[in-house]
């Protein structure tokens, strides 16, 4: 069985955000310095729908986990 995984641009599309490399870099630069103890889904810059998606994707260890982990690392 082949389990799909998603990359960072796909995660940004899923979150309704611009998904070009430049847009992702700008988002990271704008929101960098996320506190180490703060879960990605609890960051103050997400909408409620984005927060809900990220929380469930991470909690369910979904296909989106790798991309969410990468984004979390880039924001710290």
Distance CA 31, CA 45 (A): 8
Q: Is residue 14 part of a domain?
A: yes
pTM of the model: 0.88
Half-sphere exposure (Cβ direction) of 1: Cα atoms closer than 13 Å: 1
pLDDT above 90 for 58 = no
Distance CA 43, CA 30 (A): 13
Q: For the chain, what is the domain count? A: 1
Contact by Cβ (8 Å): 20, 76 = no
pLDDT above 50 for 12 = yes
Return the CATH number at 70.
Answer: 1.10.10.1130
Instruction: For residue 10, give both structure tokens.
Output: 């796909």
Task: Name the residue range of residue 20's domain.
Answer: 8-74
Q: Is residue 59 part of a domain?
A: yes
Q: Is residue 19 part of a domain?
A: yes
How confident is the model over 21-49, as pLDDT tens digits?
Answer: 999 999 999 999 999 889 999 999 999 99
Q: Sign of torsion, CA 62 63 66 68? A: negative
Q: Is residue 64 part of a domain?
A: yes
pLDDT above 50 for 1 = no
Q: What is the pLDDT of residue 60?
A: 82
């Amino acid at each position: 069985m082949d389990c799909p995984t998603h990359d960072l641009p796909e995660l940004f599309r899923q979150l309704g955000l611009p998904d070009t490399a430049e847009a992702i870099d700008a988002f990271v630069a704008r929101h960098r310095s996320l506190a180490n103890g703060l879960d990605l889904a609890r960051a103050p810059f997400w909408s409620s729908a984005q927060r809900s998606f990220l929380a469930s994707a991470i909690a369910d260890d979904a296909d989106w986990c790798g991309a969410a982990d990468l984004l979390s690392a880039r924001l710290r």
